């Protein structure tokens, strides 16, 4: 899977989300990608709520919000990650 700042969850089993999202976000941080777009789709909103609950618990997440109309509207979430602490 390419680490390019966009994670489309349509190709994954919902059971994988709890490990996939944090792992993907950590890989983005390591590559200096601090703005990430997660595509969860519009549907019933269940996957969106799951993603938002997960993001709210991750210390690496500085903030998140639903995308605007040009980035997927309420079918995608934009995430801002905290930069990595410099190594000692």
Task: Band the pLDDT of 86: cuts 50, 70, 90.
Answer: low
Query: How far, in Å, are 55, 73, 82 from residue 11 at the CA level?
Result: 20, 19, 27
pTM of the full structure? 0.90
∠ CA 55-38-80, nearest 5°, is 55
CA distance 41 to 39: 6
**Position 88 pLDDT exceeds 60:** no
Q: What is the pLDDT of residues 17-75, one digit of tens each?
A: 999 999 999 999 999 999 999 999 988 889 999 999 999 999 999 999 999 877 767 78
CA distance 77 to 8: 11
């Amino acid at each position: 899977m390419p680490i390019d700042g966009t994670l489309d969850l349509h190709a994954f089993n919902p059971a994988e989300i709890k490990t996939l999202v944090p792992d993907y976000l950590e890989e983005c941080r390591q590559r200096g990608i601090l703005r990430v777009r997660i595509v969860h789709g519009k549907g019933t909103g269940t996957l969106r709520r799951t993603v938002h609950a997960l993001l709210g618990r991750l210390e690496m997440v500085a903030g998140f919000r639903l995308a605007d109309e040009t980035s997927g509207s309420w079918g995608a979430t934009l995430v801002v990650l905290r930069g990595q602490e410099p190594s000692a």
